[in-house]
Structure 1
Amino acid sequence: MNAAPALLGYAAVVGFAVPRLMTRSAWPYRTPAPAAAVWLALTVSFTLAVALAASQLATPTEHLHAGLLGLLHACGLGAPAPAPSPSTAQRLALALPLAVVTAVVAASLFHLARTGLVRARHRDRLDKVGVRCERLRVTVLPHATPGAYCLPGFRSRIVVSDAAVELLTEEQMGAVLAHERAHVSGRHHVLLAAAHGFATVFPRLPLARLAREQLAVLLEMAADDRALRHHSREVLATAMYEMAASRAPEGAFAVGGSTALLRMSRVLGPHRTPHPAFRGSMASLALAVPLLPLLVACPPGF
């Protein structure tokens, strides 16, 4: 049985219907870290579904098991296949899925490298105009607007303006720095690069657009939650309010910016701690979603 129609139907559901359901749900903003994992899992699942569908379209009379075994043999895994030299259709069945996956991975790595170069140039400028503050372990930048941002990656840097140093209390500054350090330690720039790479390959897909937009918001909320482990909600919200007008340079994460109002409302609004079972189920969902295309293509019993 050819699995291409089922795989394409699954890809349509994941690419068009599920993202709209996600954006209309309330739970992602309550549990931003698991929600970010689910968004990334959906992009992986869509990529695999399209890759497997391409393989099936190239060899419509061959079961997917054979194509997967051929792909493993092509990657040097498993026992060598005793079959004769592959036909053109069989070569396409291997080349097309590899091309889909390679395109997404390459676009993600390109975005990661490009933003890495942008951050490196910005760090060079900071070395010339910024002043290192060993007490806060940050670079203080002369600027009239209170602000703070981080440059993740190699030689990560946290930057605050001198206006923020003068305006914020010690506890507020601690909450801001905890937020920025959460971005650095969580390697959030890598996750965003993956979303941007996926959107580059599938630019008109609702999943690509919404995953990129929502992931940026969810990672900021996840960093807020890390800061709230050691600081009160009022302290963090006040610091966000004071720096709401600040903007981060390209490739950086800022505690203020366009999402500040939404995040302040979340921090100060009614708060319900998600049940550990719910968090566990979302983590399990993020792990299971990328495997669903294989179940669609190779249901039990076939």
Structure 2
Amino acid sequence: MTAALALLGYALLVGVLAPLPLARSRWAHRAPRLAVALWQALALSYTTALVLAAHHLAVPGGHLHLGLAGLLHVCGVEHPGALASGGTWRLLPPAAVALWPLGRLAAALARTARQRRRHRTVLDLVAARDAGLGAHVLDHDTPAAYCLPGRRARIVLTRGALELLTDRQLAAVLAHERAHVAGRHHLARTAADAFAAAFPFLPLARLGARETPLLLEMAADDRAVRRHPRAVLAAAMYRVADGQVPRAAFAAGGPAALLRVRRLLAPAAAPHPALRAAAALASAAAPVLPLLLTCGPVLP
């Protein structure tokens, strides 16, 4: 019971208190990839804590044995074979807690895959493939640029964008969209959306789903400006900011374009190496902290 209470307290800390300073932090916009990793690590840590707490409530106690089973017993996690005499029903609470967010994630992945597949089918019918650009061109006057991520990714430009953007701006926009595809950013965004769907009233889930898409756009901006001037990408984003794109896509413009333009034109210094190291350590440690809590010698 002590371990269960400690885990529930930890989950409360991670799910309610931890996301507030992270969402307000200034360093996150200066190191967006690291911030996304921390959001994902906190979500995984919260889920792990809930699963372990449910297990400790359903199966109190544990014993020390050798091998993998012994490690499970040290952590108070009974081996399935040991549960046969006491009823495997005891596994149902932790299994249900684990399957709830996993089910939401599976459903979100399947839903977005269907949306992308349908949109790819339409693009293949109405868009012209431009081998030189490595993109599909839609005959539409509204300037827009976006990528449809996944295994069969598509980068899409409208005719209006081609007519409005200069060659340098077009190259910067394409670099931005390719960064989304190469970084598999759709997986992080889908995971954040699924976690928010599983725990809609949890600040960690709600704020993570809000911040993750913006951070991913900033991460793509950072990769694009490695080879293209910041002012060029900022001007291109401004020109395509009003373009409408599918929900399953990443747009070069979008509602946060103004914030991103300001970030590009007035870049802040990178976070201090000590801060980056601390954030990276927190990202690596957060998923295993619930295990350390329940396996600790003070929580038998």
Q: Is the 8 A contact 1:54 1:93 kept in 2?
A: no
Correspondence 1:195-274 to 2 at 5 A: 195-274=192-271
Which residue identity does 2:95 align to in structure 1?
L
Task: Flag the 1:30–1:300 CA change in 2: closer, same or farther, 3 A.
Answer: farther
* CA distance in structure 1 between the aligned counterparts of 2:2 and 2:56, rounded to whole angstroms: 7
1:77 matched to which residue of 2? none
Which residue identity does 1:87 align to in structure 2?
G
Query: Match of 1:3, SS?
Result: helix
1:34 matched to which residue of 2? 34
Which residue identity does 1:158 align to in structure 2?
I
Q: Does 1:163 align with 2:160?
A: yes
Q: Is the 8 A contact 1:15 1:205 kept in 2?
A: yes
Number of residues paired by the alignment? Answer: 292
1:117 matched to which residue of 2? 114
Q: CA RMSD in A?
A: 2.0
Q: Does 1:172 align with 2:169?
A: yes
- Kindly provide the CA deviation profile for residues 183-212 of structure 1, in whole angstroms up to 9, marking residues without a partner as x: 111111111111122122211111111111
- Kindly provide the CA deviation profile for residues 107-137 of structure 1, in whole angstroms up to 9, marking residues without a partner as x: 1121111111111111111111111111101
Q: CA deviation at 1:283?
A: 2.1
Q: Structure 1: where are the runs of 5+ without partners?
A: 75-80
1:85 matched to which residue of 2? 84
2:21 matched to which residue of 1? 21
Q: Is the 8 A contact 1:144 1:163 kept in 2?
A: yes
TM-score, L = length of structure 2:
0.91
- Kindly provide the CA deviation profile for residues 70-115 of structure 1, in whole angstroms up to 9, marking residues without a partner as x: 56x44xxxxxx5x473313xx3443322222222122112111111
- Kindly provide the CA deviation profile for residues 218-273 of structure 1, in whole angstroms up to 9, marking residues without a partner as x: 10110010101111110111011111111221210001111111111111124213
Q: Is the 8 A contact 2:76 2:294 kept in 1?
A: no
1:78 matched to which residue of 2? none
2:68 matched to which residue of 1? none
Q: CA deviation at 1:28?
A: 0.7
Deviates more, 1:36-45 or 1:166-175: 166-175
Which residue identity does 1:52 align to in structure 2?
L
Correspondence for 1:127 among 121, 124, 129: 124
Q: Structure 2: where are the runs of 5+ without partners?
A: 64-70
1:54 matched to which residue of 2? 54
Q: CA deviation at 1:59?
A: 2.8
Which residue identity does 1:220 align to in structure 2?
E
Detail structure 1 runs of 4+ shifted over 4 Å in the superposition.
Answer: 61-65, 67-71
Q: Is the 8 A contact 2:60 2:76 kept in 1?
A: no
Q: Is the 8 A contact 2:38 2:279 kept in 1?
A: yes
* CA distance in structure 2 between the aligned counterparts of 1:152 and 1:105, rounded to whole angstroms: 21
Task: Flag the 1:243–1:69 CA change in 2: closer, same or farther, 3 A.
Answer: same
**Percent of residue pairs identical:** 50
Q: Is the 8 A contact 1:247 1:256 kept in 2?
A: no
Which residue identity does 2:246 align to in structure 1?
P
